[in-house]
Copies of this chain bind each other. A is one copy, B any other.
Amino acid sequence: MKPPVSSIKSEPVAALDPVIRRPRGRPRKTEDERDDGNRRQQLLTAAARLFRDKGFDATSTRDIAAAVGMHSGSPFYHFKSKDALLYAVMEEGMHAAIARQARALQGARPDAVMAPKAAPIADAPRVQIRRLIRAHFDTLLGPGNDFVPVMLYEHRSLGAGQRASLAKLQVAYESAWTPVLEALHASGQLGAPVKLSRLLMLGALNWSVQWFDRKKGSSLDELTEAAMALFLRES
């Protein structure tokens, strides 16, 4: 069946010829599709949304492929398994959350420096906890922020090793709360022990994923103020 012309392939010398080289497999980028990390990122975003809406097990890799206009087998060109895709979603979510949290805490600093009278040093922990809470709500409920909710509600679908890796990121994230809560506890503004306070407070916030509706109801600012009023005492 093979024409004699193709017999060149069998000659090692011709295969080494640099003129013949041709990036086989991926056609060079057309106008609407760049073959850099963009397709991978599209897969991540679509997967995060589907995992959040339907759950990991109820989402097929075909669903994800269809959401970005791929065929069934193509996601496996970018991720070696469905589990790897889930892990990538969670990891990106945690990195973004940690970055957002750091930005929020840094933003709390200049205020106290530039207006020492308006924001006396004793209020610093209160300012910080408010920013921590607000940043957390943003991470959970902000538009397009599907990654961390997937992390929170689907980590059971992960293998032990990957779960351990993510646990480190979670510890890093939550460790920012401890000194702030300790200061509040010492000054009598926080009534419960620090560790249990952190677990209960983060739980209250994490659960908002279940009932918060961006279309109606409270804003994230109102939510933040309600949490402040619920958790903290006057002095």
Contact = CB atoms under 8 A, between A and B. Distances in A.
B55 A229 contact: no
A192 B197 CA distance: 17
A156 B54 contact: yes
Interface in A6-62: 54-58
Interface of A: 54-58, 153, 156-157, 190-193, 196-197, 199-208, 210-211, 218, 222-223, 226-227, 229-234
B192 A229 contact: yes
Contact of A200 (B54, B156, B230, B232): B230
Nearest to A210: B203
A62 to B, nearest CB: 16
Given A199-B208, A207-B207, 19 more contacts: A55-B156, A55-B157, A56-B57, A57-B57, A58-B157, A153-B153, A191-B233, A192-B227, A196-B218, A196-B222, A199-B211, A200-B208, A200-B230, A201-B204, A202-B207, A203-B206, A204-B204, A206-B207, A230-B231
A196 B229 CA distance: 10
Contacts of A230: 190-192, 196-197, 200-201, 231
